[in-house]
Amino acid sequence: MNKAPIAVALDAPDLGVVRAWSRAVAPVVSTLKVGLEVYCRDGAAAVHAARQGAAEVGSPDVQIFLDLKLHDIPATVAGAALAVAELETAFLTVHASGGAAMIEAAANALPNTKITAVTVLTSIDEATLVSIGMAGPAMDAAVRLAKVAVNAGARAIVCSPLEVAAIRAAVPADITLITPGVRPAGAAVNDQKRVATPQDALASGADLLVIGRPITAAPDLTEAAWAIAKSLGA
C-alpha cells in the first residue's frame, strides 16, 4: 500500500500522546510532524516518541518533519540546525523571510535534510500582510519568497493551498511543496485563513499535506486518517 502524502501534526499534550497518535496514523500516512510547541516542551524526546510509536506498528520508515520555523541571523540558524542534526529528520523548516543568507546557512549545515522554507503563514490574510508592511498580495509574496528560498538552497516550500499552483509553476519540479491549511469539506477551519480541501491541494500541485485537528481531534484517529487517505486515492 502506498502511504498517503499526509504529514499529521502531532500537536499533543505530552509524550505519551505523541507516541499514541503516531501508532494510530503511521500505517496510513507518510510523515509525522513535530511542531514548535511540542519541541519547546519536550525537545528531541518528541521526535524519539514519534518514531517509537511508528516503529511499534511496523512503520519505522515514516518521515519526520521538524517544524521549528527558524528565523534568526545566519550563524544562529546554522547552529540551531546543527543542534538537531542527530535527529536525522526529513524536513526542517525556516522562515523564507529570513533571507537568502540565512536559508543558505541552514542548507549548508544540514545537507541530508530538506531545508523547508515557510512563505506566508496560512493564518495571515491580506489585511495582515498590509499591517506588517509586507508587499502583497499573498500570492505574489509567497511566490517571491519561494523563489528566493529555492535559489538559496531550500529543497521544500511551505505555502497555502491557494498559492501552491503558482509556486509549482515557478520552482523546479524536484522541489517538494507542502501545504498546511488543508481541511476536508465541512471541517472547521479554526485559525486558518487560506484553506482548501485535500483533493484540491493535490490537484494544484502539492506533494505533502499537513493535517492536524481533522485527524487528531477525531474519535478514531486511524479511521479519520484512512478516510482522508482514501479520498486521495491512497
Positions marked active-site? 69
Phi, psi for 161 (deg, rounded to 5): -60, -20
Can you read off the three cell numbers belonging to residue 133?
Answer: 508592511
Contact 151, 100 (CB under 8 A): yes
Bridge partners (DSSP) of residue 63 are: 31
What distances in angstroms separate CA 164 from CA 23, 59, 184, one per listed residue?
A: 30, 29, 17
- The stretches of the chain forming alpha helices (DSSP H) are 15-25, 36-42, 44-56, 74-83, 100-109, 126-131, 138-151, 164-170, 198-203, 213-216, 221-231
**Cβ neighbourhood burial of 234 (10 Å; 0-12, 13-18, 19+):** middle
Contact 105, 74 (CB under 8 A): yes
- CA atoms within 13 A of residue 199's CA, in its CB half-sphere: 8
What distances in angstroms separate CA 1 from CA 160, 194, 198, 230, one per listed residue?
A: 28, 31, 19, 11
